[in-house]
Chains A and B, each alone.
Chain A
Amino acid sequence: MDKNNLNNIPKDLFVPLVRKEDTSDRISTPSRTFFQDAKRTLFNNKPAVFSMILILFIIIMSIVGPWMNSFGSDEQDLKRAKMPPRVPVLENVSWLGMDGTLSGTFQGKDVQQATAKANARFDRKEEFIDIKVINKGDGTRNSAEVKATYHIYEAKDMKDTYFWFGSDALGRDQWTRLWEGTRVSLIIAFVAAVLDLVIGVAYGGISGFYGGRVDNVMQRIAEILVGIPNLVIILLMMLVLKPGIISIVIALSITGWIGMSRIVRGEVLKLKNQEFVLASRTLGTSNGTIIRKHLVPNISGIIIINTMFSVPGAIFFEAFLSFIGLGIVPPDASLGSLIDLGFDNLRLYPYMLVFPAIVISVLMIAFNIVGDGLRDAFDPKMHK
């Protein structure tokens, strides 16, 4: 128990040990299985736990978020297009940019000209535009500068309307669209990851376990497939298939499983000739049982790590495809298509890009950190 004090124990405490039959190989601390051990390592990793909470939060928001206000994701109304974000309580905190105003600085040769420019920019509703003079100017070109704040909600007579994250170019609520888009992105990512897992494990497992000619043929096929860059396959597939969730999943999975299958094959090859498998085989265990009881538990760690890393990969590819116009098409939203729309309005309405960009960045970072955490927890080489 107290190994550090071994030298300080008084001699009279030593008593001859009475030999007992069954206690000699008792283990003093509870024995933990590999999974319990991994779980402990994982839950002691604070960034990973925090990331898991973040992911969980985003998943929950993607389910309940669209129901939290009364707007639908495809309710178009050009009268309320491009409204800035406005949140009930936060609107009083001016630096947050959630107060439902548009603002900009305008230059002119004098204050009057600059103000005129501001009015022209903001629908000519002068009574709703606050002008703050920054620089009076001296009559030369663009020497005067004013900062104009446009109370667009008041101007449009929508005092009681709150677009929490603003509205897009067609007047659709960004909050609703953002969370619906997140849902679409997450569904694509998870389904693609599960497909990679199932196909990859089956292909790699069969190839590695049966070996011989089966392995040879299967590996030649995989070798050719792996030579084709997955970007090229995904792009070609997206051209053939109708744009949509299912097509993206198919396009991602068509090459995605190869990485997994290679890893699984390598592990199976390594494991299947080890003593415990041979022992089990000598005892007459069937192939199915060997795979289920001996091989799968031993490679599950590496499978979990790999699946975890394929999720952010799929999120990225979905966003990438939607961004270049091959992915999700309107009126459906995804993080990628929202970012694409955000870029069209970046100069004047940056909030359209900011929110989807934040969500996708947080998701990607969180998944990568959890993936790193899982690798630390499940990789036997990392255990001390």
Chain B
Amino acid sequence: MTRYLLRRVWYMLITLFIIATFSFFLMKILPGSPLQAEDKLSEEQKAIILEKYGLNEPIPVQYAKYLGGLVKGDLGVSFKFDNTPVTTILIDRIGPSALLGFQALVVGSILGIILGLLASIFRNSPIDFSSTIIAVIGTSIPSFVFAGLLQYVFAVKLGWFPVALWGTSAHTILPTIALAIHPMATAARFTRTEMVEVLHSNYIITARAKGVSETGIILKHGLRNALIPLITVLGPMAVGLMTGSMVIEQIFAIPGIGEQFVTSVMVNDYPTIMGTTLLFAFGFIVIILIIDLLYGLIDPRIRLAGGK
């Protein structure tokens, strides 16, 4: 287990290093500099600015400094947004994104599990059929289309919720639903498949023979075993949430990381783009690592089979 963990962390560091290197040299290739209104500046002014940002040094030195800064959590200074350090911008904005992502994950997976459970209990019934349809639609329709629909119907037409922006908890409802639809569909599909399989296994027959009540069988023996593999889809789910958050935050004008990224893309603010990208990469990798470890901890069979 320890060896496995070390190996995984090692790979994680290599991956992060590659992404950081890649994004650094990308920044050097791309056009655009901190010099706004470049032609109006004199040579001295330019030199002063370049020195301030450390851009007058040779590229290897800049690269070393950049990596050194990364280790300390320093992502550089934004070209736009009043020269704020990128780290500060991101820390300011991580709250709404984290809250939305968390709400969507919880709401989505709980609803999905309930839906999948109902479908597996009432197999081949209208409930099963409609749950399958919801799952197909939920996995297929892009979250931004869904968000547009929600925004138009519930905010613009009916006026039940605020159209956009951030503040009260009412503001979080529509974006949460829009984000949660995908995890919900995934969880519903997965729970159904797993439950159907688990309910056919021998220990369920044993439990039934012992006279365990049907609720007991489904909740205690069935669902608990069916949910273990659900942890594996948590990773892709979290990744999907991060992708989704970019468009959802943009649509609902939520001051989060995703919205920051899209805005930075539009104004070509490379340090912020790269910083956000690195943060996303870090988030992805850590989440997937945690999920893999969790999986091994929860299901002893995996640990034995893996032998690591």
Residues of A within 8 A of B (CB): 223-224, 227-229, 231-232, 235-236, 239-240, 312, 316, 319-320, 323-326, 339, 342-343, 346-347, 350, 353, 357, 360-361, 364-365, 367-369, 372
Which of A229, A316, A324, A339 makes the CB contact (< 8 A) with B284? A229
**Bound-state Cα–Cα, A339 to B152, Å:** 14
User: B242 contacts which chain A residues (CB < 8 A)?
Assistant: 231
Interface of B is mostly: helix
Interface string of B101-142 (1 = CB under 8 A from A): 000000000000000000000000000000000001101111
Contact A239 B145 (CB under 8 A): no
Contacts A224-B15, A324-B262 hold; do A312 and B280 have CB atoms under 8 A apart?
Answer: no
User: A367 contacts which chain B residues (CB < 8 A)?
Assistant: 140
- Any A CB within 8 A of the CB of B12: yes
Known: A229-B285, A236-B23; 14 extra A-B contacts, CB below 8 A, are: A224-B15, A224-B18, A227-B12, A227-B15, A228-B19, A231-B243, A232-B284, A319-B144, A323-B247, A324-B246, A324-B247, A353-B148, A367-B140, A372-B136
- Any A CB within 8 A of the CB of B11: yes
Which of B136, B148, B151, B285 makes the CB contact (< 8 A) with A339? B148
Which of A224, A231, A324, A368 makes the CB contact (< 8 A) with B11? A224
How many CB-defined contacts (below 8 Å) exist between A and B?
102
Interface size class of B (residues with CB under 8 A): 35 or more
Contact A232 B262 (CB under 8 A): no
User: B277 contacts which chain A residues (CB < 8 A)?
Assistant: 232, 235-236
Interface residues of B in 173-213 (CB under 8 A from A): none
Which of A223, A227, A368 makes the CB contact (< 8 A) with B139? A368
Contacts A227-B12, A368-B136 hold; do A346 and B148 have CB atoms under 8 A apart?
Answer: yes
User: A368 contacts which chain B residues (CB < 8 A)?
Assistant: 136, 139-140
Which of A229, A236, A369 makes the CB contact (< 8 A) with B22? A236
Contact B30 A316 (CB under 8 A): no
User: A239 contacts which chain B residues (CB < 8 A)?
Assistant: 26, 30, 265, 270, 273
Contacts A229-B285, A231-B239, A339-B148 hold; do A365 and B141 have CB atoms under 8 A apart?
Answer: yes
Contact A342 B148 (CB under 8 A): yes
